[in-house]
Amino acid sequence: MHLMVTLCLMLLTTDVCSQKSTKVKAPKGTKWWSLAKAGEPSNDLRSPLTKHNNNPSLEPLTKRQRKLVTKNPGSIVAVESGAKMAIQECKHQFKNRRWNCPTNFDGHGNSIFGKIIQKGCRESAFIYAITSAAVAHSVSRSCAEGGISTCTCDTEPHDRPAGRDWEWSGCSDNAKFGHAFSRKFVDILEKGRDFRYMTNLHNNEAGRVHVSSGLRRDCKCHGMSGSCAVKTCWMSLTSFREVGNSLKDRFDGATRILPGNDGLKAEEENSGNGRGSKKRKLSFTPANPNHKHPGKRDLVYFEDSPSFCEKDQGLGHNGTTGRECNGTSIGIDGCDLMCCGRGYRTEEYVARERCQCQFHWCCDVICKVCTVNKTRHMCL
């Protein structure tokens, strides 16, 4: 049984190319990532909703995503900036690794992260988590700013629960909205029932949980001699860099999983919106039975990562040839590991830098330009 499963996985992963035409076929929904390549939002985006369906910037979305976006005017802008944020953060977190989060806007609707997202490795887990987190974060932020009209901070007095006069939950609701929106928007894509989709769903949710749990509500009392006549509250949403950092931590400690013994469960759930939405529940076990079951915040994967040493057109990765490496580090960014033992060439170059900057009253900083000799190492 165990062998069978692994064999199946092997098939799935090694034959990505052959299956692509029939089964996987570039997950359609992930095309929204390419919103990141859109320029500044045009004014059309803020125009009446009816136009939205024809708006070219909605093209990468699926039908249901478009519906969701149209229902919540302004959210497309947030999604777009979320996509940008995700790519930027991914590149930042992985800048010193062999896989440095390469992106490619080919304009043909393919995933901008390349085919790595069709794998089930750590890197793909991170991509799913960070993009889903970015949407949640960006939408929550946009809510607080009033960019999305369906979720502005509600300050109407009559909506506040009686007796709790100084409660103000506007922005925690924004975070909830962002979470829910991201869930609807991102998870729509994972319609399948197979293990890969379940893994992706888990990683999506893990990304969002990192955003929601970074939300803190602070309050302060003001009044005569420290009494509490006026109480003001505000939310602090952690910066996306912190979300990225903690997701990177989870990437390092990601859990390898196998499908659970009881297979996949697809529970019918008739409560909720009444349409009998199917709640898909992922059942899996850690590959190493001695490890504890991965929690809500943990990233999971089921496939080994490629080495990312050589150029792999299929994955959209260029290999590490020509990458700069750190000559003194023995870590992952060091030349030994980065260049996969192929060696590296060292070159000296002349850089021009600003130096000897002085502050002049008021208010100029005047610098000289110095030429500095620098060394860099490049992988062969």
Partner 1 sequence: MDDDYYDDMGMEGNPLEGVSEEELMEMLQNYDGELTPELMDMLQSYRQPKSPEVVYSRSHFSELFDNCMLPTWTQLFELLLPLFVYCIIFRILLYLSHLGTKSYGAPHWLIHLCSAVLGLLALNSFFKVATLYIVVACFLAYFAYSFVIEQKREWCGLVGAVIMVVFSLLCELFFVEAETWHKIRGAQIILFMKVISLGVDIGQGTVVALPSVVHYAGYCFNVGTVIFGPWISYPQYSKSLDSQSNSLGVLWILKVLLTSVLGVVFLTHSNCFTNWLILDHSWRWFLAYRDAQSFRFSHYSISFLSEATSTLSGIKFDGPNLQWNVARPHNIELPRSLVEVVTNWNLPMHFWLKTYVFKLVRPYGTFLAVILTYAASALLHGLNFQLAAVLFSLGFYSYTEFVFRRRLSHIFDACIQARKCKEKCDHKYTRTNPFVIMTNFAFSFLAVFHLAYLGLMFDSSDGEEKGYTMWHTLEKWSSLNYLSHWIALGTFIFYWLI
Note the residues at the interface with partner 1 (CB under 8 A). Answer: 97-98, 122, 141, 144-145, 153, 155, 157, 163, 165-166, 168, 170-171, 218-239, 241-242, 245-246, 249, 252-256, 286-288, 290-292, 294, 298, 304-307, 309, 330-332, 337
Q: Which is nearer to partner 1, 79 or 235 (CB)?
A: 235
State in angstroms the smallest separation of the CB of 132 from partner 1. Answer: 20
State in angstroms the smallest separation of the CB of 245 from partner 1. Answer: 6
Q: Which is nearer to partner 1, 175 or 189 (CB)?
A: 175
CA atoms within 13 A on the CB side of 300: 30
Q: Which is nearer to partner 1, 68 or 125 (CB)?
A: 125
CA-nearest of 122, 126, 32 to 82 is 32
State in angstroms the smallest separation of the CB of 180 from partner 1. Answer: 20
CA distance 151 to 139: 10
Q: Which is nearer to partner 1, 29 or 306 (CB)?
A: 306
State in angstroms the smallest separation of the CB of 257 from partner 1. Answer: 8
* Helix, coil or strand: residue 360: strand
CA distance 146 to 238: 19
Q: Which is nearer to partner 1, 29 or 82 (CB)?
A: 82
State in angstroms the smallest separation of the CB of 301 from partner 1. Answer: 9
At 112, list the tokens.
């901008």
Q: Which is nearer to partner 1, 143 or 201 (CB)?
A: 143
State in angstroms the smallest separation of the CB of 284 from partner 1. Answer: 12
State in angstroms the smallest separation of the CB of 248 from partner 1. Answer: 9
DSSP labels, 5-58: HHHHHHHHHHTHHHHIIIII-S-GGGGGGGGGGS-SPPGGGGS-GGGGGG-GGG
Residues sharing a CB contact under 8 Å with residue 136, sequence separation 6 or more, in sequence order: 82, 175, 178, 179, 181, 182, 207, 208, 211, 212
Q: Which is nearer to partner 1, 186 or 335 (CB)?
A: 335
Q: Which is nearer to partner 1, 160 or 184 (CB)?
A: 160
Residue 286 main-chain phi, psi, to 5 deg: -60, 145
The angle that helices 75-93 and 122-144 make with each other, rounded to 10 degrees, is 140
Q: Which is nearer to partner 1, 225 or 373 (CB)?
A: 225
State in angstroms the smallest separation of the CB of 7 from partner 1. Answer: 14
| Partners of 232 in the β-ladder | 220
Query: Which amino acid is located at 202 in the chain?
Result: H
State in angstroms the smallest separation of the CB of 32 from partner 1. Answer: 25
Query: Which amino acid is located at 252 in the chain?
Result: D
Alpha carbon 134 to its chain's center: 5
CA-nearest of 110, 279, 81 to 183 is 279
CA distance 211 to 132: 10
CA-nearest of 203, 189, 209 to 129 is 203
